[in-house]
DNA sequence: TGGTGCATGTAACCTGTTACATGATTCG
DNA sequence: CGAATCATGTAACAGGTTACATGCACCA
């Protein structure tokens, strides 16, 4: 019962704006995907659990059994509690970094090739996030403000990653003579 | 059956140097913990699966049932295959970034307080990694070289994170008047 | 009326965590 | 001999992915 980040992600999106599971799913596919991705299956299950726990409630049932959800006061309290108590976050894991860690076990040419791919990937991710930022609304509400802040973090990560990868490639090249 | 990063982490550590599950566990707790953490329970299970799959083999059984493992040729091939084909990596997830994304749903004072904690956390992590780097051996072998490269990545991330957090705090302060 | 999109749900499976469980060896 | 450490394992559960399954509503 630790962590529960998906639970919070769904709760938080509903706090920003009410909607159905289907609506939420769209928002997960766009903005939230870069921060905490979730599948359709998982999301619908979580919404039912949130409703059972009284953190959200169904305000309306529309066509095709569409359930309109809204956060409750208890839900807002839980959200505040989670945001201000960053105790039980899941540990950092990176398959990309694991690869780097093990790069010594493959031929140097393969290692270099991998790092080149990392550079290109970081650069293309950077472009993708730049485009995303340009298409974003210029709203001055809180959600848009912090959304842009999270996006800025992603941009800085990719810039750093590309720079680091180029630095490592140079170091590999200087080592090869040995 | 996708991803399998723990499987590779264990295989890779054994490729760097043979040893028992217990030996491996120690290496997971120290160096590998920063890249791909694993629990004792998970590791022993994975070692048996790797042996069943013929990617590693038991070369010796010592006191207390200690099993000495070593990678096989098939294991080395699998390692090379995984490193050079970064297709099925698990998606990026960050509880910290999720918090930032949802910071608009809590009072501004709480949001600011959280970002201050982020700054401090990044700075202390940076110090921890600096200390780790200083205690590391100066070996010039491949494993040490790429281990330091991964560590450098962590250092740059923390530096970037601290800088970004300070930038965001400034932006929050400039927004408060509204 | 037929296709696309809306809308939700279930089942099987894999990964990862926590807790429990057991016993041998070494050293003071 | 008792404590710490070496050494491996199992069981229960939570979180996440994939695939399957179903049906309504809207619009051309």
Q: What does the mean pLDDT of chain B come to?
A: 95
Give the pLDDT confidence of B87-122 residue by residue, as tens digits.
Answer: 789 999 999 999 999 999 999 999 999 999 999 999
Task: Tell me the average confidence (pLDDT) per consecutive run of 10 residues in chain A, 178 residues long.
Answer: 92 98 97 96 98 98 97 98 89 96 97 97 97 90 97 98 98 82
Please give the structure tokens belonging to residue B97.
Answer: 């970034």
Interhelix angle B142-175/A142-175, rounded to 10 degrees, is 160
Give the pLDDT confidence of A74-89 residue by residue, as tens digits.
Answer: 999 999 999 998 778 9
Interface of B with A in 143-172 (CB under 8 A): 143, 145-147, 149-150, 152-154, 156-157, 160-161, 163-164, 167-168, 171
B45-71 mean pLDDT: 97
- What percent of chain B has a predicted confidence (pLDDT) above 90? 90
**CA dist., res. B44 & res. B42, Å (int):** 6
Q: How many CB atoms lie within 10 A of CB A49?
A: 15
- Confirm if A166 and A51 have CB atoms less than 8 A apart: no
pLDDT value at residue B100: 98
pLDDT value at residue B79: 97
- Spell out which residues of B between 79 and 118 contact strand D, using CB within 7 Å: 90-91, 93
For strand B56-61 and strand B67-71, is the pairing parallel, antiparallel, or unpaired?
antiparallel
Q: Which nucleotide is nearest to B5 (CA to C1')?
A: C15
- List the end-to-end C-alpha distance of chain B, in Å, as a whole number: 52
Is there contact between A137 and strand C, defined as CB under 7 Å from any strand atom? no
From B65's Cα to the closest Cα of chain A, the distance in A is 29
Residue corresponding to tokens 């920003």: A16
Residue corresponding to tokens 């590998």: B32
pLDDT value at residue B176: 65
Give the pLDDT confidence of B67-87 residue by residue, as tens digits.
Answer: 999 999 999 999 999 999 877
């Amino acid at each position: 019962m630790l962590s529960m980040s998906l639970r919070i992600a769904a709760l938080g999106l509903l706090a920003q704006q009410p909607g159905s599971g289907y609506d939420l799913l769209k928002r997960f596919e766009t903005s939230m995907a870069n921060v905490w991705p979730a599948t359709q299956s998982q999301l619908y299950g979580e919404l039912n659990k949130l409703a059972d726990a009284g953190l959200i409630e169904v305000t309306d049932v529309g066509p095709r059994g569409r359930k309109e959800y809204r956060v409750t006061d208890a839900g807002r309290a839980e959200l505040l509690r989670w945001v201000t108590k960053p105790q039980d976050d899941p540990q950092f894991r990176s398959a990309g970094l694991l690869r780097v860690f093990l790069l010594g076990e493959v031929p140097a040419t393969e290692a270099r090739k991998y790092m080149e791919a990392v550079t290109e990937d970081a650069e293309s991710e950077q472009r993708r996030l730049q485009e995303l930022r340009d298409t974003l609304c210029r709203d001055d509400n809180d959600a848009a403000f912090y959304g842009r802040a999270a996006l800025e973090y992603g941009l800085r990560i990719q810039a750093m990653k590309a720079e680091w990868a180029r630095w490592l490639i140079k170091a590999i090249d200087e080592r090869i003579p040995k």
